[in-house]
Amino acid sequence: MVKTIGVLGAGQMGNGIAHVYAQYGYQVFLYDIAEPQLEKAITTIRQNLERQAKKGVIGEQLVGETVGRIMTTKNMTDLVNCDFCVEAVTEHEPLKLDIFRKLDDIVQPSAILASNTSSIPITKIASVTKRPDKVIGMHFMNPVPVMKLVEIIRGHATSDATFRLTAELVARLEKEMAVSQDYPGFIVNRVLIPMINEAVFALYEGIATAEDIDKGMKLGTNQPMGPLTLADFIGLDTVLAIANVLYEGFKDPKYRPCPLLVKMVNAGYMGRKSGRGFYTY
């Protein structure tokens, strides 16, 4: 039975994942190499919980209780007794592989190791561990406390027992599961990133302004936000990284990243987080 959760990476996704597990009663160890990032994560989690309480989504007492279930640490060895770990660091393959190698040596042989990767093959991640049957993809959507979907990805060696336990966790978090095979982009990004990339091409080719492209997709297809606004929200560097995974994984020119997207990332225009993307923030 899973009681203790390890979350690796205290950024936007990591703090959201820690938030939901702690909210549903799990003891959470939140790991990051940077103390300021850990402090920022706890502040963000508390603010988001207070917002939920103000809206009546959760009771006021749950704010303190939830934060109290999260222990922060800069030492990965503190995750030694975690039953289930979720890696949520930057979408950079060498970093993820290095973390899984180290984590595999630290936690108990029975522990399951999950990755929140949005595009890197789970089979490849699992191959650097001594427990490929206990490695699985658990891709949460952003913002984690709000979004209902968790994309589950089975690696080539992921066991049925690992899959069943992960599925049970998704249900306990009151989220919905979509199951994908381990191919580049999985389900969501396989469909989403080419759409965003095509919207960038439309801007690049002068078909319309960013505002009209987004208005067309919002009002014409009933999406909550336009693709360029969404790209800024995700982070243009992340969009480009996933586009490159699709392009390299399939070797199909339909996935090639738009030159404008590449140029903007090179210029440091990353979207909301940098204050400038397709829009200025």
Angle at 91 between CA 23 and CA 21, to 5 degrees: 10
Distance from the Cα of residue 213 to its chain's centroid: 26
Which residue of the set 91, 115, 151, 180 is catalytic? 151
Which residue of the set 118, 119, 180, 197 is catalytic? 118
Which residue of the set 15, 116, 119, 189 is catalytic? 189
Which residue of the set 15, 48, 116, 139 is catalytic? 139
Dist CA 189 CA 96 (whole Å): 19
75 assigned to active site: no
- b/e map of 41-60 (b: 16 or more CB within 10 Å)? bbebbbebbeebeeeeebee
Strand ranges for the chain from DSSP E: 4-8, 27-31, 70-73, 84-87, 112-115, 135-140, 149-154, 176-181
Strand ranges for 17-162 from DSSP E: 27-31, 70-73, 84-87, 112-115, 135-140, 149-154
139 assigned to active site: yes
Distance from the Cα of residue 7 to its chain's centroid: 12
C-beta of residue 150 within 8 angstroms of C-beta of residue 139: yes
- b/e map of 90-118 (b: 16 or more CB within 10 Å)? ebebeebbebbeebbebbeeebbbbbbbb
Q: What is the residue whose two structure tokens read 């522990």? A: 111
Residue 219: helix, strand or coil by DSSP? helix
| Structure-token pair, residue 122 | 């789970």
State the catalytic residues. 118, 139, 151, 189
